[in-house]
């Protein structure tokens, strides 16, 4: 978890920062929307509940981030959750207002993406299944957003974008977000 950040500031600071930001994001979103938390490893359910409180918790499945997100979307669509919006727990600017913006964008488009400043994304929303947009994405690189948009276009999906936000991956992000402990 947060391996780049941990390499720069140590595992303890990285974990504390992630837990703080993740708790904030979950609380901000859950204040207005139902929240399903997808977690890993599968035996961490009690720890997740202790950390985030009373939400729906679902164990992730898949070999990489793309497969895990595809599985999450497939699960939500299978039970009638449309649209479905996935958010990262490491972007403190994400809250209920962000989800509202994403819902409004999905009223006009097939896909909504909230780009992160580092070339990834902090939010992905879909109106229906689109498993092909997760194939061949260079996860963990600054090309995630660009490749995902290209895959959406190849699938003839209309995309709307939200405002770019900073997520927490490095010590520079920690400082820029005002989360660095002194």
The predicted-structure confidence for 49-81, as pLDDT tens digits, reads as follows 999 999 999 999 999 999 999 999 999 999 999
The pLDDT of residue 134 = 98
Residues 91-125: b if buried by 16+ CB within 10 A, e if exposed: bbbbbeebbebbeebbeebbbbbbbbbbebbbbbb
pTM: 0.94
Residue 23 dihedral angles phi and psi, to the nearest 5°: -65, -40
For 20-35, the pLDDT digits (tens) are: 999 999 999 999 999 9
Between strands 121-126 and 111-115, the pairing is antiparallel
- Structural domain boundaries in the chain: 3-176
Q: What is the pLDDT of residue 182?
A: 38
H/E run at residue 126: strand 121-126
pLDDT at 181: 64
What class has domain 3-176?
alpha beta
Show the low-confidence residues of the chain (pLDDT under 70). 1, 181-182
Strand order in the sheet with 111-115: 84-87, 121-126, 111-115, 159-161
Can you give the pLDDT at residue 178? Answer: 86
């Amino acid at each position: 978890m947060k391996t780049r950040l941990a390499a720069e500031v140590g595992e303890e600071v990285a974990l504390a920062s992630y837990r703080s930001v993740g708790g904030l994001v979950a609380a901000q979103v859950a204040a207005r929307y139902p929240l399903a938390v997808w977690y890993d490893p599968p035996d961490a359910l009690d720890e997740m509940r202790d950390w985030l409180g009373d939400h729906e918790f679902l164990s992730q499945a898949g070999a990489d981030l793309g497969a895990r997100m595809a599985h999450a979307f497939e699960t939500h669509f299978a039970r009638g959750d449309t649209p479905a919006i996935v958010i990262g727990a490491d972007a403190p600017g994400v809250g209920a207002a962000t989800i509202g913006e994403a819902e409004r964008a999905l009223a006009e488009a097939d896909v909504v993406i909230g780009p992160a400043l580092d070339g990834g994304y902090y939010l992905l929303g879909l109106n229906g299944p689109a498993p092909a947009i997760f194939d061949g994405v260079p996860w963990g690189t600054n090309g995630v957003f660009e490749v995902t948009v290209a895959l959406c276009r190849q699938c003839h999906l209309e995309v709307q974008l939200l405002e770019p936000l900073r997520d927490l991956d490095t010590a520079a992000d920690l400082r820029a977000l005002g989360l660095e402990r002194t």
